[in-house]
Each structure stands twice: as C-alpha cells, then as structure tokens.
Structure 1
Amino acid sequence: MNQVKQFENTKVLVLGLAKSGEAAARLLDKLGAIVTVNDGKPFDENPTAQSLLEAGIRVICGSHPLELLDEDFALLVKNPGIRYDNPMVEKALQRGIPVWTEVELAYLVSEAPIIGITGSNGKTTTTTMIAEVLNQGQKSAKLCGNIGFPASSVAQEATKEDVLVMELSSFQLMGTKEFRPHIAVITNLMPTHIDYHGSFEEYVAAKWRIQEQMTADDMVILNMNQEIAASLASKTKAQVIPVSTQEIVDGAYLLDGQLYFKGERIMAASDIGVPGSHNIENALATIAVAKVMGVDNQAIHEALSTFGGVKHRLQHAGQINGVTFYNDSKSTNILATQKALSGFDNSKVILIAGGLDRGNEFDELVPDLVGLKHMVILGESAPRVKRAADKAGVSYTDAQDVADATKKAYQLAETGDTVLLSPANASWDMYVNFEVRGDSFLKTIEELKGNK
C-alpha cells in the first residue's frame, strides 16, 4: 500500500456507512486522519458503527445534523448512493469541502494498476470476465468496486504484481479527483439513473470522468456499436481501442461468427460460456483488455468458454427433465431483457416478467416478445406487461410471486425448453432487491428438483 501522508491529522467526515463507508473510515484512520463517521441508522441498530467506535473512530448515528459541518472538515467521503442534493453534501460543497467517494482513496493507496469498468449494462459481467481471463493468464487480478468488494479495502492489500479490476458506477465516478485507471472500459451508455443525474447528458458526463486523468500511456475501450462512443473517442487523451459486433475495427470485433483482435482470430463466438449478443460485446471488451495485458489466446479461450456468468445476470440455474433455467433477475429494465432474449430461440422460451410499476409501457419490448412460447407475468406492472404480450401475440399466465411463477413455467415447459426469469422491472413491489428475487427463483428450482 502506498503510504500517503496527505491525511495525517486531517479532519475527514465519512457520510454513510455500508461496506464502502466502513472501508473508507478504517483506511483513513490507518492513514492518520481524524475521522468522524455519520450514519442515519440508529447506533443501537448499527453493528458497523459500534465496531468502528470500538476501534476508536468517532461515530454520530441516527440523523445527519448540518451543524456537524461547522467542525472545519477538510474532506467529506460519501457513500455513492447518497445524492448530491442531500443537505449535508450540498452544505459541504457550498463551504468548499471536497466530496469524494472511496474509490478515490483506493486509487491513492493502490500499488497495483487499475482496470476500471463502467457502463449502463454488462459492467458486472464484463468485470468478472476480465478478472477470470487475467487470472487464467497468470496476471493476479483482484475484483473490487461496485461488484461488492470495497475498492479501498482491496487496494490496501494489492501489490505491484497484482491488477485491480474495478467495477465503477456513475455515482462512484462523480466523487473522483485524481483517479486514473491504466485501462478504462465503457460497456455501453443508455438513459438510466436520470432521477439521480437529472439528464442523460449529465449521466454520460459522470461516466466519462473515468478517463479524465488518463494520458497517452493509458487506454480506453469503447463499444462502437453506439454512435455516442464514436463521438466520445475524439474527446480523450488516452489511446482508444474500439470493439464492435457490427463492423471490422482496429481493435476487437465479430466477423462471420468469430472473435478477432486486430486481424488475429481469437475464438468462435459460439464458444462463449454464456448466451446472448450482449455477452459477445462483453467478451470483445474482455479480449481487448486481455490482449493489451499480454494474455495468450489459449488462456482467453479457456476462461471465456468456461465462464458461467454472474449470479442473477443470465446465470445458468440448472436443468430438470430437459428444461433449462436461467436466472436473470438483475434485468430490471427493458434493454436488459431485450439483450437476454437475444440469446435464445423464442419458440422454446417461457419468460417470467413483471415487477415494480414505474408507469412506463413496454412497447419497446414487443418485437423481442414475438414468438415466445409463453409468458408468466407477475407484480404491479402486470397489466402493462400483459398489454405488451397481447401486442406480440403471446399467451400468458398470471402468478402471485416468483416461486409461483417458476412452478407454473416448469409445468408449461417441455423437454428442450428454457424458463427465463428476466423481469424487465425492478423488484421492489415484492422483494427487497433483485438478489432476493433471484434467490427465490433458485430456491424454487431446487425444490422442483427434489420433487421430480
């Protein structure tokens, strides 16, 4: 770990706990800062805050008192989920206090080079793919960031022989200053999190911060299937490595069912271990990183052909009597479900869809639903999803919840069919998050296996 001195005897406020807040507080304390942690959860119900207090770190819980900012903090490190219109954040900025997220701390202390992956869809899968390919190629990759392992914790343990493979959200990137990955990947850019950013332009600007400090010694990998990527390519000092499934580019591309890098055939697209056109895009970005990092083609092929996916993201969930199950609970929007369906023969798919009603119709999804064997529909948005199914000419069945939907889908399925949970909706009408929703699907499959 780089022993940075800039925080010694410096007052720092950590706003919001969870994994990243705790990691930031402990790292800052280790670096000699005078740390105060402020979290909204009451102290009696907050084991993390209790643990920090036992470690000698000051904690203030249960509310966010604005007068706390009268204490002359030199820095505020916030949980990325806390918005910039939060009163504490607004007041800090008004007072000229820098507001960071903990990935900035990770960059400052990391001895290891960083590969940063961001985008609207596919970043978790791509991050995991890259780590697995690099490890297959003996490059000692360490996963961290938005994928569940706080970057500032992992960075402390990493050496110059390691590589940090870091998933980054727009929220995290907004809180960076000097952050500079050696390689940046932007999987795609779609209108999402507009409620947080205010506009698509502001969202793109937040994502584009990933390359702000990069130089000609660094590389940014862009998906040229999108026009916006081509427009961004001219706005960076970094070397641009394009990827495309639609044309031959001076980078990674798909041609006649084969994946290439700069004219060199790497592997067949059909050998990728997870289905879907989006996973071809993810694999191309991974190949671009791997080739730049000196991984040989055999290692790339071995890692990508055995890649089993990420839990809740087109996760192969087993087979019963010739019926295959896929858990794509993380598909919380229309685009994600469109990409999931692209990997299957619709005539053999029973799709489980529906969830939180956000007031939007599903007309964009209609062309992708055409030809489905059947749909099982659930949740608040069921009436809207049914309208889309009617327009697509697809029959459907109602379900009470995911467990009920899974059982009904299996009853309707025949040997050779696929039951796909890809809701196109958030989970919050029934479940705390998409993970809990997906776990219900997985649990029900195990129950069905026991009953066969």
Structure 2
Amino acid sequence: MSHGLVTDAPITRDELLALRDQPVHVVGAASAEGVAVLRLLLGLKFQHVVVHDQRPRAELRRAFRTTHGAFSRVEQDALWEQLRPVIDAGRFGDDYLATIDTAALVVLPQGWYLEQANRERIVAAVPAGARITSMVDLYFALHRGPVAGITGTNGKSTTVALAEHLLQVADVHHRTAGNERSSRQFLPEIDDVPAGTWALLEVSNRQLLQTSRSPQVAAITALTPDHLDEHGGMPGYEATKARLFVHQGSGDVAIANADDERALAAAQQSPAAQAGQLVRCGLGDHPSPSVLWRDGVLIAEDVPLADGTRRSGPVVIASSADLQLPGAHNLRNAAVAVALALACGADPATLAQGLRTFQGKALRLQRLEEVDGVEVWSDLKSTTPEATVAALEALEGRRVLLICGGQDKGLEYGALAAALVAHDVHALAVPGTATDKLEREVRRAAGTDEAAEALLERAPDVSAALDRALELAASGDVVIVSPAAAGFWSSQLQGGTSLRTLVRRRATVPEGSAR
C-alpha cells in the first residue's frame, strides 16, 4: 500500500533537538506509541507539541486505559494527569488534524494509513518540507547503544520474550520495547539508559514502513501470508519484512529461521548475510553459521557476534527437554532467540537455564485454567491460519476444540481446514469474513455437509463459543482460543485479561448451576 510518507531520510538526534521551538504534531494521542512519543518530547522540553486523535475527546481516557495495560490503574491516572495540559489542547473528533499544516515535524503511529479517509487527509495536510518520523525510528535515532530487532509473521512476540529472558539470565544489559503494547516503552527515559545497553525491539511490518534503519542484530522468525491487503500481495509483504535487514552493515549479524524459505530469503538481502554474517536456525540441515536442533540437542556453530568476533564451535546449548514451550515452531523460535542472545554477548553456559525457566508469552499458547478437567488455552496472538495450524500441531495427541474466527486479511484457509480434518478438531467460529471463508474450505476438505458440520459450527460470540466448547469437551480435552483471523480481540474481547476472566467464571460456577 503506497501512501507517500515513507521516508528514506530518517531524522537524527541533532535534527530532532533543533526542532524544540518548532510546532511538532503527534498523531494517535491515546495510543501506546503516541503517548510514548509525547512523554519523550515533553521530557526534552519541546515547547509547541500538538496531539491528534480521531476519537472524540470523551472517549480518549477509556482508549488510553486499553492501550496502557502494562501500567497499574494508579500509574495510568498519574500519567494521564501529567499529560493532561497537552491533551486538553489537542485536536480530536471533528477537529482531528486541524493545524497540522503548520507542523515542522509530524510523528505518525504504525498503521495510520489503514483507513482511506485518514490516509488522504494526512497526506494532503502534512506540508511539503515537514519531517516525518515514528516511535520506532526515534528509538534508532536516540538510543545510545546497539539495537537488536526481531520481526516475523508468527512467533516474534514469543521470540522477543524468550530472547529478553535469555539476556536477563546471562546478565546482558538490555531494555525491551517496540510493537508489543503489553510492554512499557522506554523511549521517554531513553537518555537515562546507560550507554552500551542493548535495545531489543519487536518490529511489525507496519513499523518497518516507518524507518529506513536496520538494527545491528536483525532476526526473522517466519514469513507467511498476512496483511496482504495492505501490501498489494505477497511480494510487497516480503519486501516490507526484508526492510529489517537491507540497511545493515557488513559487520552486523542477520538471523533467520532457515526452515522457512521466505524468511531466509528476506535475511539474505542483508549486506551482513553477503559478508558471511547470516546465522541459520531451525530443525533442518543448514550450513554454518548456525543454531540448529539435531537429535533433540541445540547446537551453535561459528555464530558471529555483534562485537566482530565469532563463537567457534560446535557448542552444545541445551536439550529439547529444557524448553518448556510445546511444538516444533517453538523449537525454531528458541533457536532464533538463542542465536540473538549469543550475538548480543550472552555466555552459552547460561542459555540452558534460560530455556528451562521461560514459561511462555501471554496470549501465545498459554494455559489459562482447567474447567471440570478440561484445559483452556489462550493463543490470541495467532491471527493467521498458519499460526493456528502450528498451535494445533503443538497439541497433537490431545482432543482439541478450537475457538476461532474474525475478519479476513486476504489469506487462504485451505491449510487450516485440512488441519481440522487431519487432527479431528471441532471448531467454534465467531462471525466474520474469515469465518465465511473457513467454512467454505471446511466443506471442501470434509467432502460432505454432514462431515463439515461435525468439524465447524458457528457461535454468536466468544462467550457462547466457550460455553459450547466446554459442553462438548470431556475431561482431558483442550479448548484453545486461536483466532486465525483479524479483529477477534477488538470485536470479542476488551483486552487479554478478559478471556481469562471469562474462563475463570466458568471454572468457579457452583455445582448444579448452568454455565
């Protein structure tokens, strides 16, 4: 999707600070990104900051709470009061984007271009000559240490969380931020971070459109169809993901899940890869430098480090029994996280302990509760059919009831339908265009209407789907919420804790009462 505001001239620290007395406009006032940028600018004593949000003023406080779940209610209230003078003078609702044509600098959130009306208004309103920047680009501009970045269609949140844990266990100084809104952005305090500290960033495809910088250590977990409507098809999506690598230097480190041909191809576009600095990870037989699982053992060989040296090998890192996360896809994620931790300076001797003590990422293959002997799992981060298939494969050997559905992103659902058939999974699907597409594919894969109805039935919402799944399940079965589509969170839940609350209510229903 071309919107005309992707810049190839990223702002520098000196250029940013030179604008302290100029009008700076921040779009997305209630978002996690917008608030992080606003706090940064106020801390740097910018004098003329204007905030914008499409929401009416009356809805901002509620939106702010939703996007700042990493903060306690007391912290949220204090932060809101701190920002209130600027927010009170902001441009909201009908006044959205008013006076933006006076801006010397405009800070845009990721995905600002998704609505055509928003796209047209911003492109038309931003004056020629105004600088454009974003939260992720400001991390690159202002951080006084090396940067490691992770992207991928699936697995990036888990891999970032695992890499963060490995660095912590190895006592490698770091701060984590980026796309994951459940994390606290350290951008407002970036000048207080000790020089030399690693910045570990989760970077989405939308954020990659907002920067032309690459981290010293760049990693990709997987590259499967997603957001195709935004990028004009798979080639555009692949090119966007490759942006994490293309601006690296020959002495940097590129890391890829080499079992995924598209992910490997993206990483191979890095100048670092062309200089022999590409680490291949996975379960397959790949040349070194590598971090690979072989007969249940994770082995690192000839891994390049960000300081210009190499970790010669082979070095045994851990066994598969050390990893607490289920599924082959998590073995691959772990290999990528280990490669990144090594590149950032982690001692190999600490990594097995890190793998053993990592319990997983919230919303990604997370066991929530047990209800009458039935385990209920959350996999809310899986918003593509491929991610949901991986979750089903991770639970192979268990009887599974799947809650899924939502809006289509231009993806294919044949593989998910085939997985329902192959694993004899019963799906409860909430309304949406993706559900319509999945239903058609299930009918095709099942062969008969009767067989299709045994595999998939519709539910009006997640609460009804959960009740129906628990009604059908027996002790020892698994109910997993894995959308395989967009919009599930916003249409069905008001944040990740809501699913846990729904499940806990059913776990505590008095005996003899109806659910």
DSSP 3-state at the match of 1:185: strand
Q: Which residue of 2 aligns with 1:302?
A: 353
**Is residue 419 of structure 1 aligned with residue 452 of structure 2?**
no
Q: Which residue of 1 aligns with 2:165?
A: 132
Paired with 2:100 and 2:483, the residues of 1 have a C-alpha distance of 43
Shift of 1:52: 3.8
DSSP 3-state at the match of 1:26: helix
Q: How does 1:50-449 map to 2 (within 5 A)?
A: 52=83, 54=85, 59-63=90-94, 68-71=99-102, 73-83=103-113, 86-91=119-124, 95-148=128-181, 149-150=184-185, 152-153=187-188, 155-160=190-195, 162-177=197-212, 179-238=213-272, 239-250=277-288, 251-262=290-301, 263-346=314-397, 348-356=399-407, 362-381=413-432, 384-390=437-443, 391-392=445-446, 393=451, 395-396=454-455, 398-428=458-488, 432-433=490-491, 436=494, 439-449=497-507
Shift of 1:437: 7.4
Shift of 1:386: 4.4
Letter paired with 1:81: G
- One of 35, 41, 61 as aligned partner of 2:49: 35
Q: Give a deviation string over 1:286-340, Cα, whole Å, max 9, x none.
A: 0101222232345322222232222221112133454322111222221111111
Paired with 2:410 and 2:249, the residues of 1 have a C-alpha distance of 44
Q: CA RMSD in A?
A: 3.1
DSSP 3-state at the match of 2:90: strand
DSSP 3-state at the match of 1:144: strand
DSSP 3-state at the match of 2:430: coil
Shift of 1:90: 1.9
Contact 1:37/1:57, CA 8 A, preserved across alignment: no
- One of 7, 25, 42 as aligned partner of 2:38: 25
Relative to 1, partners in 2 of residues 1:358 and 1:77: Cα closer, same or farther, differing over 3 Å? closer
Letter paired with 1:112: G
For structure 1, which segment, 207-216 or 285-294, has the greater mean C-alpha deviation from structure 2 after superposition? Answer: 207-216
Q: Give a deviation string over 1:161-182, Cα, whole Å, max 9, x none.
A: 53221111122222224x4422
Contact 1:133/1:304, CA 8 A, preserved across alignment: yes
Q: How does 1:7-18 map to 2 (within 5 A)?
A: 7-17=19-29, 18=31
Letter paired with 1:166: L
Relative to 1, partners in 2 of residues 1:411 and 1:43: Cα closer, same or farther, differing over 3 Å? closer
DSSP 3-state at the match of 2:401: strand
Letter paired with 1:315: Q
Letter paired with 1:242: R
Q: How many residues align?
A: 447
Contact 2:226/2:411, CA 8 A, preserved across alignment: no
Relative to 1, partners in 2 of residues 1:112 and 1:42: Cα closer, same or farther, differing over 3 Å? same
Contact 2:430/2:458, CA 8 A, preserved across alignment: no
Paired with 1:414 and 1:338, the residues of 2 have a C-alpha distance of 22
DSSP 3-state at the match of 1:432: helix
Q: TM-score normalized by structure 2? A: 0.77
Q: Give a deviation string over 1:261-286, Cα, whole Å, max 9, x none.
A: 11322222243212122211111110
Paired with 2:86 and 2:460, the residues of 1 have a C-alpha distance of 47
Relative to 1, partners in 2 of residues 1:213 and 1:276: Cα closer, same or farther, differing over 3 Å? same
Shift of 1:27: 1.7
For structure 1, which segment, 416-425 or 279-288, has the greater mean C-alpha deviation from structure 2 after superposition? Answer: 416-425
DSSP 3-state at the match of 1:138: coil
Q: Which runs of 5+ in 2 are unaligned?
A: 1-12, 65-79, 302-313
Relative to 1, partners in 2 of residues 1:362 and 1:235: Cα closer, same or farther, differing over 3 Å? closer
Relative to 1, partners in 2 of residues 1:66 and 1:216: Cα closer, same or farther, differing over 3 Å? same
For structure 1, which segment, 193-202 or 213-222, has the greater mean C-alpha deviation from structure 2 after superposition? Answer: 193-202
Relative to 1, partners in 2 of residues 1:401 and 1:201: Cα closer, same or farther, differing over 3 Å? same
For structure 1, which segment, 213-222 or 434-443, has the greater mean C-alpha deviation from structure 2 after superposition? Answer: 434-443
Letter paired with 1:26: R
DSSP 3-state at the match of 1:370: helix
Contact 2:54/2:96, CA 8 A, preserved across alignment: no
Shift of 1:449: 2.6
For structure 1, which segment, 203-212 or 114-123, has the greater mean C-alpha deviation from structure 2 after superposition? Answer: 203-212
Paired with 2:136 and 2:203, the residues of 1 have a C-alpha distance of 8
Shift of 1:398: 4.8
Letter paired with 2:85: E
Shift of 1:343: 0.7
Q: Give a deviation string over 1:180-236, Cα, whole Å, max 9, x none.
A: 422111222223222223333333333222234321232121222232344344432
Letter paired with 1:68: T
Shift of 1:446: 1.5
Letter paired with 1:403: S
Paired with 1:349 and 1:45, the residues of 2 have a C-alpha distance of 39
For structure 1, which segment, 255-264 or 85-94, has the greater mean C-alpha deviation from structure 2 after superposition? Answer: 85-94
Letter paired with 2:261: E
Paired with 2:458 and 2:23, the residues of 1 have a C-alpha distance of 56
Contact 1:119/1:188, CA 8 A, preserved across alignment: yes
Q: Give a deviation string over 1:60-98, Cα, whole Å, max 9, x none.
A: 222466773442x33221111201861243236772433
Paired with 1:215 and 1:360, the residues of 2 have a C-alpha distance of 34
Letter paired with 2:193: A
Q: Which runs of 5+ in 1 are unaligned?
A: none
Relative to 1, partners in 2 of residues 1:114 and 1:322: Cα closer, same or farther, differing over 3 Å? same
